[in-house]
Amino acid sequence: MDVSQAVKQRISTRAFLDRQISEAEVRDWLETAQRAPSGGNVQPWRVIAVTGAAQQAVIELAQAKLAEDPKGEATDRPIYPADLWEPHRSYRFRVGEMMYEKLGIPREDKAKRIQWFSRNFRFFDAPLAVFFVIDERMGHGQWAHTGMFMQTLALLAEERGWGTCMQECWGILRPSLKEHFKLGETEMVYCGMAVGYPDTDHPVNQLRSERAPVYEFAELNGF
């Protein structure tokens, strides 16, 4: 598979087959992705991969915590800026509407939408999950570099026939995850990622999110 193909076919996969990924495969995947660049080669990321009982323990933790408060726990690093502005606000709205349309869940059916969203906290039944841990002392540059590592993993997953869904939603359980994974004092979970063989027949995996045309985001000078 060439890189363009991997980039074009990657989607956020939100339904998976019941097919395991082995430890050897996970190790190889992580080792290859470690070639991702980072400023000063700082390699600011740390990952925790969970499957089987370890994954189930995280799912149960999430269920218990979200039963206490469905909004989760406070964080000083919210998923989106407050009052997201245009055009980003509309992009966000649009992809949500497109997803629920694929699932046949109308806007009025808030309960079903919430129920679907809560599948995030079961990793959409993926057999593997990865958490990306970063040291809070790192600056915005290192957060960006961690994102590059994540995208490298997502593309390498495509090559392996796997699907991925990055899951920043786990940010609403940062204090609990920190305790659960016994993170260092200055460490925090930035994001999760569900990983597995995609259920290509599932309607949610038919979603192809849109992108703004190049002229809207790119300035090309001096050609």
**Using the rule CB under 6 A, is 209 a contact of ligand FMN?**
yes
CB of 95 to ligand FMN, least distance (A): 4
* DSSP-assigned states of every residue in 144-159: HHHHHHHHHHHHHHHH
* Residue of 51, 142, 167, 176 interacting with ligand FMN (CB under 6 A): 167
Q: Where are the alpha helices (DSSP H) in 160-194?
A: 174-180
CB of 116 to ligand FMN, least distance (A): 9
Phi, psi of 163 (to 5 degrees): -115, 160
**Using the rule CB under 6 A, is 26 a contact of ligand FMN?**
no
CA 109, chain centre distance (Å): 25
* Residue of 21, 33, 58, 120 interacting with ligand FMN (CB under 6 A): 120
Residue closer to ligand FMN by CB (options 9, 56) is 9
In 63-111 the beta strands, taken as DSSP E runs, fall at none
Instruction: Convert residues 66-105 into a mask of x (bound to ligand FMN by CB under 6 A) and - (unbound).
Output: -----------------------------x----------
* Assigned token pair, 79: 């998923």
b (16+ CB within 10 A) / e for 135-165 = eeebeeebbebbbebbebbbbbbbeeebbbb
CB of 223 to ligand FMN, least distance (A): 28
CB of 91 to ligand FMN, least distance (A): 8
**Using the rule CB under 6 A, is 165 a contact of ligand FMN?**
yes
CB of 158 to ligand FMN, least distance (A): 12
Looking at the DSSP assignment, which residues form a beta bridge with residue 49?
A: 130
Cβ neighbours of 16 (radius 10 Å):
24
Contact positions vs ligand FMN (CB under 6 A): 11-12, 14, 95, 120, 165-169, 191, 209
